[in-house]
Amino acid sequence: MMAAHPEESCGKRMAVVVGCNYPKTQFQLHGCINDALSMADLLVKRMGFDPLNIELLIDDHGHDHALMGMPTGENVKKALGRMIDCAQSGDVLFFHFSGHGTRTKSHHFREGEAIVPCRFNINVDFKLLVNRLPKGATFTILSDSCHSGGLIDQEKEQIGPSSSSSCLTQNKPKFIPYEAIVQHLSGFGDKDGAEFNFKSAVAVGTNWNGDGGILLSGCEAKESSMDIPGNGANGSRPHGAFTDAVVRELSAAGVPIMISNRELVMRVRDLLKKEKIIQQHPCLYSTDQNARSIFLGLPT
């Protein structure tokens, strides 16, 4: 269903969708590729995206969509760069990430939050990308990863943080300690860890420029986002709790979908609470105007 690259068809609505399961590593997850496929399908069927304008990156060599490229830090950065380079005023840009998050602790930079690509090379800097965003375009990030509430620190907090309780669960947090990433990569030498650069291990999204940035995070900055194992007996697949809730809410909405960013996050919070997934509280960071705007709607 997904086609080549966004730059080949510069439409009004473009997306980069990433799912990282980290197979054959000690950090393996199970629902993130399913999240990416579900989100890409939703964008086409319910949100008006042309498949030609969606770039899908997943770390499954056996899947047809993996031919588009593995979700390494370099490939994710290039995909986002292509999308922004062909954007114009009035365009709607979307980045969805499902995978691990971490809190960086490098002597080069202050502590901050970051997404973890499939080869653990943390070199995606949203600040540089968003500063190239043309005026009048919007860029929405939906991150289903641990500590995702801290991915951008310059936009106004619209929803979150709130108090939460801990509980025993079989769900797996989407979090890797920064020290574990460094240790994991050091075992590969120059071959597989070559893309990792300590000078690139920065918190993504610092010094966010302008009012086009909208972040829907799977949890607060100090919380974990859950990877749900699924239950084959009742037909459920492994999935991320946040992505799955977003997809269900939007799939059940009327046509056209007229749910604001604020309303969507509140609905998802209520749904997760109802389903007793209390480890995470989705958040929204944006300007007041963008909080009231329709999710992935045309800029106003």
Examine residue 172 and state whether it is found in any structural domain, yes or no. Answer: yes
Distance CA 149, CA 60 (A): 27
Q: Active-site residue 283, yes or no?
A: no
219 pLDDT higher than 70: yes
Lowest mean pLDDT among 2-11, 151-160, 256-265: 2-11
pLDDT for 228-279, tens place per residue? 987 755 557 999 999 999 999 999 998 889 999 999 999 999 999 999 998 8
Q: Which two tokens stand for residue 113?
A: 């939050």
Residue carrying structure tokens 């989100």: 39
Examine residue 297 and state whether it is found in any structural domain, yes or no. Answer: no
Rg (alpha carbons) of the chain, rounded to whole number: 18
Task: Quote the pTM value.
Answer: 0.79
- Structural domain boundaries, residue 243: 6-292
The answer to whether the Cα torsion of 275, 278, 279, 283 is positive or negative is positive
Contact 141, 215 (CB under 8 A): yes
pLDDT for 39-95, tens place per residue? 999 999 999 999 999 999 999 866 666 556 789 988 998 999 999 999 999 999 999
Nearest to 49, CA basis, from 86, 94, 88? 94
Q: Who contacts 5 (Cβ-Cβ below 8 Å, separation ≥6)?
A: 55, 68, 79, 82
Exactly one of 100, 147, 184, 281 is catalytic; name it.
100
Examine residue 54 and state whether it is found in any structural domain, yes or no. Answer: yes
- The CATH number for 33's domain is 3.40.50.12660
Q: Active-site residue 65, yes or no?
A: no
Exactly one of 32, 118, 146, 219 is catalytic; name it.
146
What's the distance, CA 176 to chain centroid?
16
Examine residue 1 and state whether it is found in any structural domain, yes or no. Answer: no
Give yes or no for a cis peptide into 161 (omega within 30° of 0): yes
